[in-house]
Amino acid sequence: MSGNVSSNDDIVTDLHFGDIDLSSIVSRDEFVTLQRNDASLVSSFDLTESEPFPDNRSYLFVKNGLLMRREIPKSNLEIAIFLLSSW
């Protein structure tokens, strides 16, 4: 994802990922559809896990239709990331 970030207040002013203008996505359903139609994410959907989720490693999961990755860094903080690919 590219983005111009202001050093003063960390505001992203350019939300593009590949050819997609992320600011043009107006709904969660549209984002879900973009993920599902992205051929490069097919194998990621195949690797998703269901509850009970592991607590000692990172994993992929689907929540409300969105493909996400839960990152378990060495500090044991949990970070959920929406997966984007080069649409």
Considering its fold, how many domains does the chain have in total?
1
Q: Is 44 within the bounds of a domain?
A: yes
pLDDT digits 0-9 by tens, 27-81: 889 889 988 988 888 999 999 999 999 888 889 999 999 999 998 776 655 566 6
User: What is the model's pLDDT at position 81?
Assistant: 63
Q: Is 50 within the bounds of a domain?
A: yes
Q: Which domain holds residue 45?
A: 27-82
Q: What is the mean pLDDT of residues 13-23?
A: 73
- What's the CA gap between 37 and 55, in Å, rounded? 30
Using only the alpha carbons of the chain, give its radius of gyration.
15
Q: Is 15 within the bounds of a domain?
A: no
pTM of this structure: 0.61
Q: Is 52 within the bounds of a domain?
A: yes
User: What is the model's pLDDT at position 56?
Assistant: 84
User: What is the model's pLDDT at position 10?
Assistant: 58
User: How many Å from the N-terminal Cα to the C-terminal Cα in the chain?
Assistant: 11
Q: Is 11 within the bounds of a domain?
A: no
- What's the CA gap between 57 and 66, in Å, rounded? 20
